Structure 1
Amino acid sequence: MKTEPDRKADLIPVATAGTLSGLFRERVARTPDLTAYRQFDEIRGHWSSLTWGEMAERVGCWQRALSNLTLAPGARVAVQLRNCVEWVGYEQAALALGLVVVPLYPNDSPGNIAYILADSGSQALFVGSLNQWRMLESWRSAFPELRQVICLEDAACADARFEPAPNVVCAADWLTREGSVPADHDADPSDLATLVYTSGTTGRPKGVMLSHRNILWNAAAQLETVPTYHDDILLSFLPLSHAFERTLGYYLPMMAGSCVVYARSLQTLGEDLMTIRPTALISVPRVYEKAYVRIQAKLAQEGRIARALFRKAVAIGWRRFLAGQGRAADLGFADRILWRLLRPLVADKVLARLGGRLRIAISGAAPLSEPVARCFIGLGLNLLEGYGLTEASPTIAGNRTEDNVPGSAGLPIPGAEVRFAANGELLARSPGVMLGYWKRPEETRQAVDPDGWLHTGDIAEMREGRIYIRGRIKDILVMSSGEKLAAGDLERIITADPLFDQALVVGEGKPFVTALLVLEPEAWKSLARELSSDPADPRTLQERRVKRVVIERLAHLLRDFPAHAQIRRVQLLLTPWTVDHGLVTPTMKVKREEVLQRYKTEVDALYAGHAIAM
């Protein structure tokens, strides 16, 4: 078994890699026979693997095919594909040719995709399915620079009636396996590598320009805080089009030589966790929160003894965690005995649903609810929260295994500096800060000042060297009384309750706080039956006694918040806010302005008469 120094020797330094394509070449040269990627083969019905050496052959095929387009270095090529080895093969080939990759969310709207293709001037597009391209065809005039469309799906198999245009080809037919692989472009680490369009909770997305050095530096800094090795197995399910997954779930494992397994879908994530049994997991808070809600819902159906045992296990596990962090005394004899009993009886059974051998789990892209973190950590999961944004490539701060304070974003990663503006905005400076926004010099100057400080747009504070995020500047609601409210803090507490699937707190310029609440269907049915109401009747959601019960429940959840933050009116909904409806981002963040616009009539009704409705 390798020692710690031996395992660290497998890591590829930034200087050795030079560029992102250089990192791939170096990994192939060092460990050609190690398993690099696994994914499910739908045709054969089993999981298939590729070594680094085999992956290099696949990248060579893509490199030969892309070179036939004779695109000049710096030309943009887009990819709208779910996570898979073909995504990696296409990108690595493009980077080796000096091209700039534009990742697109697989389930983004055609209008938004068309805008990004036009804004970036992309000349090639790799899509996963024929249907994705068909949905874009009506927007074709918006992006005239596009020359080639490659479809992973075999068009003939998908629809025998389909007659592809000359510039639409099936990947299997287009890839050439003959001839030599073109020489790699001699890229500089400071060259533009990718345009990552922010999913944006407001306004049109902006193309964040990230260099090879930006991403490599960030991945290396993360490896210093979260050691990862070539014997780790990471299950990847967040979109590779998101900077969080791209750096931590793609380039960091490549730097360490770890194996990445691509989950089949979010719907099958539970099954894939049990099958793959990963040692590392990267996710957004919503996934952990939904798992927490399912646990709470299951406990509600079980007896008092089961609930009591669960609460006891979490409480003892939490004290055990604090003792291990040096922030509390060691467990007493009775608690140690109880933990030996409760761990296999309670904790291990929950963690088994995550595969049973997770060494580390990371949460990022948004703050994680503290009760959720406390629950999983109490059960023994090494759950670390971090903070960053696309413009920083993306990580700025993170907790460490040996210094983990749930509820905080942790310490700045090595090499990153932070400070605070007069209004409490967090500023950051590091080699990971973007080159700028694509074709938006004025907005770039607003985001990055002359001294290189990135204005994050987040209100934060620092205590004992750790960063605590208090919300987006745009999400700080100023009530008509002058009181200020961090809407995100309330929304995280609310959605940790099994009854509430989604929440949006309203109060900007208003005399009191209200909320739009999307109810979890099964929890709603249970509550309606308790109240002897018909859950299938939409009018039940408007009953005063139902709303009274919900408001009382909210008051209990928000009991630690000041009086002006208490929610006094609610609009109850059953239709979830989705990406398809344009109401959440692909990383499941609610688009505040879009939701408020969509439900303007309902919000106006909440404030009609300025009286407390009960």
Structure 2
Amino acid sequence: MVFGDCTVPRCRGLEQAEKATSLSDLLFESPDAWLNRPLLRFRNPNGSWTRLSRAEVQQAVLRVGAWLESKGVKAGDRVALLGHNCPEWFIADFAILRMGAVTVPAYFTDPPEAVQYVINDADVSAIFVEEGEQLEKLQGVNLPLLAFHGAENSVAAIGRDKRWDGALTSPAPERSALATLIYTSGTTGHPKGVMLTHDNLLTDVAAALGGVAVFEDDLFLSFLPTSHSFERTVGHFLPTACGSEIAYAEAVTTLLRDMPDVKPTIMISVPRLYEKIYAGVQTKLAEGPPIKRKLFALAQKLGMERFELKQKGGELGSIKALLWNILDKIVNAKLREKMGGRIRGFISGGAALHPDIARFLLAADIPVLPGYGLTETSPVLSCNRYGAIKPETVGPALPSVEFRVAADGELLVKGPMVMQGYWRKPEATAEVLDRDGWLHTGDIVEVDADGYIKIVDRKKEIMVLSNGENVPPAVIEQHLVQSPAILQAMVVADNRPDVVALVVPEIEGFKRLWQSAMNAPLPDNWQQDARVHGWMLEEMHNKEHDLSSFMQVKRFAFVEKEWTQNDGLLTPTLKLKRRRITELYADMIEGLYPKER
């Protein structure tokens, strides 16, 4: 597909998803021509890459499925999966699905108590687990375990062992059968197991492909946890349906090395990746000569004009086109090369992408398609289309998705991808799922005349100042993290007189920005320095310039330690766990509200 073409051709993967009777059909009921094509790619310890063909993966899945049967696992039983993205995760998942059991992914970033809560709540019968740290989380668990790797008894070894050939006897499940329990991130309280059937997920794969076509020659680079519904549907099931190849990044920290190596055409990511790319560019511009900043600004202006014209089917005039080609080579080409040079689409989800960051990428001829969904909806509900991108939105509804906006602005959704409910929690299910099938998303939205959705904030996270003004925290935080000096930010405002923030500085970016602005080194005690605080507040206000005055941060405090998943302060899709952060920094927050106010 050419960027700028708003038509969505009917790709072969869409046919695969529509005709499949179970998720395992996406792997097994595929054209013979795909059998010898590479399906999975992974990096070896020596730095080289190994590819597995579809036929090899099919054989491994059937053998591992037979191992499950040998342990007494039967259709409908729950089987847990704990580990980083890799071919063994893929093989174990499809083995579970093929023999009619239910996959229960656990997050590898979760502590032992959270992992064991999921295992106990789902009442699992067996566990596939990565060696080392992940295996240690299962101490005291008395269930059949199969490690990912190892000499004899592992997913990798059994997947190669011909002695298991022909041993699997379970028939493939029907579309209506339960396929997976995906536990919600648990920003408050215990997570809930979202029940999704084969039909829910197959329908969502088809809906996604009805909005954004994917082809046999596409190459995905996988780095978001496959245990999360976004990566599992769009970066796991969808490319399998399309005959595409999936390459596994070694880690999030190796992306800058893996992207040029793999040269992906499609990547699935949450906004944090794009925010870091943007912040990195801004930092380099701040420390570079003025001419570099002027060329960048001109390239962005002309690039956005080009993008908007192409949206309408037009092109730049000959003089501007020539200037664009020159600026593109000088300014944008190196950035695209760092991403592998072949990106056909960044699909953004998990949270709203700030429109300025989307425009920055689009102006650099890097296609980014903001979308939206929930674990409870398998998950994708909407996505921008090539040639019809509105950066401030998450796009229109995908095929088979119905949207309705409640009186208070909450988005309601209906469609065959909506969950069956929460595992063994009928009361919690009734709170969000109406009897007539409408799911209450909890997101406050605005809808334009073309049906494009703009996410305002989470209904439960809207904060109300003591004067009655409504404050959407995520909107403010999106503005703040555009600064190269800010790594993370969380605002506080509920029942307070004004907005304050906790700020995790990006140390190197902070130093460079200060040096550029003040022409002086950063003071040794800069976290307490009044001049630095005044300068930082001004930088924050510059980023908030388009927000109402009551939404702008009035005071802030520096937080020295980055918030991570490992310390329980971020969800797997890198959203803030606000309650946990608020509790941890309660004294610091109180100090931001002087007693005399």
Q: What's the TM-score, normalizing by structure 2?
A: 0.94
Partner of 2:298: 312
Distance in 1 (CA, whole Å) between partners of 2:350 and 2:228 is 9
Distance in 1 (CA, whole Å) between partners of 2:48 and 2:538 is 50
What is the DSSP-based 3-state SS (H/G/I as helix, E as strand, rest coil) of the residue aligned with 1:287? helix
State the 1:6 CA deviation.
Answer: 10
State the 1:501 CA deviation.
Answer: 0.4
Contact 2:355–2:391 (8 Å) recurs in 1: yes
Q: Percent identity?
A: 37
Q: Which amino acid aligns with 1:107?
A: T
Q: Which amino acid aligns with 2:88?
A: E
Q: Which amino acid aligns with 1:23?
A: L
Contact 1:12–1:256 (8 Å) recurs in 2: no
Partner of 2:432: 447
Contact 1:91–1:101 (8 Å) recurs in 2: yes
**What does residue range 418-437 of structure 1 map to in structure 2 within 5 Å?**
418-437=403-422
Contact 2:514–2:521 (8 Å) recurs in 1: yes
Distance in 2 (CA, whole Å) between partners of 1:377 and 1:19 is 37
Task: Identify if the C-alpha distance between structure 1 residues 447 and 10 changes in structure 2 by more than 3 Å, giving closer, same or farther.
Answer: closer
The answer on 1:86 being equivalent to 2:88 is yes
**What does residue range 112-261 of structure 1 map to in structure 2 within 5 Å?**
112-137=114-139, 140=140, 146-154=142-150, 170-171=154-155, 176-179=161-164, 180-261=166-247
Partner of 2:563: 577
**What does residue range 171-570 of structure 1 map to in structure 2 within 5 Å?**
171=155, 176-179=161-164, 180-326=166-312, 330-464=315-449, 465-526=451-512, 530=518, 537=525, 540-570=526-556
Match of 2:54 among 49, 52, 55: 52
State the 1:536 CA deviation.
Answer: 5.2
Contact 2:13–2:209 (8 Å) recurs in 1: no
Task: Identify if the C-alpha distance between structure 1 residues 29 and 62 changes in structure 2 by more than 3 Å, giving closer, same or farther.
Answer: farther
What is the DSSP-based 3-state SS (H/G/I as helix, E as strand, rest coil) of the residue aligned with 1:298? helix
The answer on 1:40 being equivalent to 2:37 is no
Q: Which amino acid aligns with 2:587?
A: T
Partner of 2:30: 27
State the 1:123 CA deviation.
Answer: 1.8
Distance in 2 (CA, whole Å) between partners of 1:542 and 1:54 is 59
User: How many equivalent pairs are there?
Assistant: 587
Q: Which amino acid aligns with 1:150?
A: L
Contact 2:287–2:513 (8 Å) recurs in 1: no
Q: Which amino acid aligns with 1:515?
A: A
Contact 2:283–2:512 (8 Å) recurs in 1: no
Distance in 2 (CA, whole Å) between partners of 1:240 and 1:352 is 26
Task: Identify if the C-alpha distance between structure 1 residues 81 and 532 changes in structure 2 by more than 3 Å, giving closer, same or farther.
Answer: same
The answer on 1:76 being equivalent to 2:78 is yes
Note the aligned Cα RMSD (angstroms): 2.1
Task: Identify if the C-alpha distance between structure 1 residues 239 and 28 changes in structure 2 by more than 3 Å, giving closer, same or farther.
Answer: farther
Task: Identify if the C-alpha distance between structure 1 residues 528 and 405 changes in structure 2 by more than 3 Å, giving closer, same or farther.
Answer: closer
State the 1:29 CA deviation.
Answer: 4.7
Task: Identify if the C-alpha distance between structure 1 residues 309 and 415 changes in structure 2 by more than 3 Å, giving closer, same or farther.
Answer: same
Larger mean CA deviation between 551-560 and 460-469 belongs to 551-560
Partner of 1:159: none
Contact 1:27–1:52 (8 Å) recurs in 2: no
Distance in 2 (CA, whole Å) between partners of 1:582 and 1:8 is 41
Question: How far does the alpha carbon of each residue in 1:209-264 deviate from its partner, in whole angstroms, 9 at most, with x for none?
Answer: 00000011111111111110111111111110010000100111111111111111
Match of 2:63 among 61, 64, 85: 61
Distance in 2 (CA, whole Å) between partners of 1:72 and 1:254 is 25
Distance in 2 (CA, whole Å) between partners of 1:217 and 1:454 is 16
Larger mean CA deviation between 526-535 and 471-480 belongs to 526-535
Distance in 1 (CA, whole Å) between partners of 2:13 and 2:69 is 32
Gaps of at least 5 residues in structure 2 are 2-6
Question: How far does the alpha carbon of each residue in 1:474-502 deviate from its partner, in whole angstroms, 9 at most, with x for none?
Answer: 22110100000111111001001101100
Question: How far does the alpha carbon of each residue in 1:282-308 deviate from its partner, in whole angstroms, 9 at most, with x for none?
Answer: 111000110110111111121111111
Q: Which amino acid aligns with 2:93?
A: E
What is the DSSP-based 3-state SS (H/G/I as helix, E as strand, rest coil) of the residue aligned with 1:344? helix
Contact 1:11–1:257 (8 Å) recurs in 2: no
Partner of 1:163: none
Distance in 2 (CA, whole Å) between partners of 1:582 and 1:573 is 16
Contact 1:235–1:280 (8 Å) recurs in 2: yes
Distance in 1 (CA, whole Å) between partners of 2:257 and 2:143 is 40
The answer on 1:595 being equivalent to 2:581 is yes
Question: How far does the alpha carbon of each residue in 1:18-57 deviate from its partner, in whole angstroms, 9 at most, with x for none?
Answer: 1001222112755211111111122x54101111111111
Q: What's the TM-score, normalizing by structure 1?
A: 0.92
Partner of 1:164: none
Contact 1:27–1:254 (8 Å) recurs in 2: no
Distance in 1 (CA, whole Å) between partners of 2:523 and 2:101 is 55
Task: Identify if the C-alpha distance between structure 1 residues 243 and 172 changes in structure 2 by more than 3 Å, giving closer, same or farther.
Answer: closer
Task: Identify if the C-alpha distance between structure 1 residues 477 and 76 changes in structure 2 by more than 3 Å, giving closer, same or farther.
Answer: same
The answer on 1:18 being equivalent to 2:10 is no
Partner of 2:4: none
Which structure has the higher relative contact order (CA within 8 Å, separation 6+)?
Answer: 2
Partner of 1:166: none
Distance in 1 (CA, whole Å) between partners of 2:133 and 2:318 is 62
State the 1:331 CA deviation.
Answer: 3.0
Distance in 2 (CA, whole Å) between partners of 1:6 and 1:227 is 6
Larger mean CA deviation between 333-342 and 593-602 belongs to 333-342
What is the DSSP-based 3-state SS (H/G/I as helix, E as strand, rest coil) of the residue aligned with 1:608? coil
Contact 1:152–1:170 (8 Å) recurs in 2: yes
What is the DSSP-based 3-state SS (H/G/I as helix, E as strand, rest coil) of the residue aligned with 1:488? helix
State the 1:528 CA deviation.
Answer: 5.9
State the 1:184 CA deviation.
Answer: 3.4
What is the DSSP-based 3-state SS (H/G/I as helix, E as strand, rest coil) of the residue aligned with 2:30? helix
Larger mean CA deviation between 21-30 and 350-359 belongs to 21-30
State the 1:11 CA deviation.
Answer: 4.7
Partner of 1:109: 111
Gaps of at least 5 residues in structure 1 are 157-168
Contact 2:503–2:557 (8 Å) recurs in 1: yes
What is the DSSP-based 3-state SS (H/G/I as helix, E as strand, rest coil) of the residue aligned with 1:178? helix
Contact 1:524–1:535 (8 Å) recurs in 2: no
Distance in 2 (CA, whole Å) between partners of 1:148 and 1:480 is 55
